[in-house]
Amino acid sequence: MEAKVLSIILPVYQVEKYIEKCIISIEQQDISRDLYELIVVNDGTKDNSIKLVEDLQKKYSNINIVHKENGGLSSARNFGLKYATGKYIWFIDSDDYIDPCTLKKLVTEATTYDLDLLCFSNKDIFISNKKTVYPKSKKPKEIVSGLEFLKNYELGVVAWAHIARKELYDKHNISFTEGIYHEDYEYILTLYKYCSKIKYLDIHPYNYIIKTGGTITTSNNISHIRKRLDSWLHIINSINESYPTTQNKKDYNYYARLWGNTFKYHALSALVLLPLPIHEKKIYIRKFQKINCFPIGKSCLKGRRRFIALLYNNPTIFTFIVYIKNYFDRRKCIFRLIPVHRFR
């Protein structure tokens, strides 16, 4: 049997409506199934998802189902990594799917150039109106290092937008922080730090499904809102501790801090926009002050976001913006103008 070139890790939790389409899209590809494995992580799902996977396993012998108690997406991804045997890793979400004739392109490109990381883009698929959007951003046309990527290009802060050499995870103990939302932000900065050879392939093979009503991380449930803000606090504090301040532009830490400051903008925008009582927002403002979110500092923000970040730099002005937002919340006022960016 040939050695596995690619391990696809697929966390499964309450996705019986989507799981068959996802797995069939992975299995009906243009390379031998001997070259890749599909590790399905049962994250304690209570619906019919795993029964559907077991039925598909009878047809596709490269499916390996592993079971664990429910722990969330990060926990499931980390668990799946323990079972991966491929040279490269790809994390896919089980309510999304990939295009036909995808794996041969990815595997050929990664192995031909002996890459640490191969990046690509996606299509946003809106279920409500069946609209498809192709996100655009500045990406390299040549092979670059992690430092060069952070310095010159827009970071794709999603785990499913690349395949990465498994050796990086093993050698540098790279994993996802468990128990938080927005886990990809912290993970991406760690992964890029150890990459010497990154290439961007200008294709959109990943279909990211955007459902009506959003997801847990876009929910306005009060407990989810608190967890989102607590997650941002963790991420910003972790970046502050992991990447010391430096003015040396040849140092990875310099650009990691730039992106960390960019993430501060998104964290503070979340605090402005999320529907939370003002007394709780005041508590979070003090928490963000404590981890040096004010001022945001030099960042990778451009245009309107850069201007808004200047307003955020002063905690007094920021607090005023929060008060005004809460006051006009029911009127859907001008705060729609605050752009919250989703990285690709």
Residue 32 pLDDT exceeds 90: yes
Confidence category of residue 121, pLDDT binned at 50, 70, 90: very high
Q: What is the pLDDT of residue 334?
A: 52
Q: What is the pLDDT of residue 216?
A: 44
Beta strand 6-12 with 88-91 is: parallel
The answer to whether the CB of 314 falls within 8 A of the CB of 294 is yes
Q: What is the pLDDT of residue 336?
A: 55
Lowest mean pLDDT among 34-48, 130-144, 190-204, 205-219: 205-219
Domain locations in the chain?
Answer: 6-210, 219-337
**Model confidence over 304-325: pLDDT tens digits?**
999 999 999 999 999 999 999 8
Confidence category of residue 267, pLDDT binned at 50, 70, 90: very high
As a whole number, the mean pLDDT across the chain is 92
Closest CA to 74 of 185, 167, 238: 185
| Identity of the residue numbered 266 | H
Q: What is the pLDDT of residue 333?
A: 52
Q: What is the pLDDT of residue 3?
A: 80
Residue 208 pLDDT exceeds 80: yes
Tokens read off for 285: 């403002």
> What's the CATH architecture for 6-210?
Alpha-Beta Complex (3.90)
**Model confidence over 210-248: pLDDT tens digits?**
986 545 445 678 999 999 999 999 999 999 999 999 999
Averaged over 76-83, what is the pLDDT? 98
Residue 150 pLDDT exceeds 50: yes
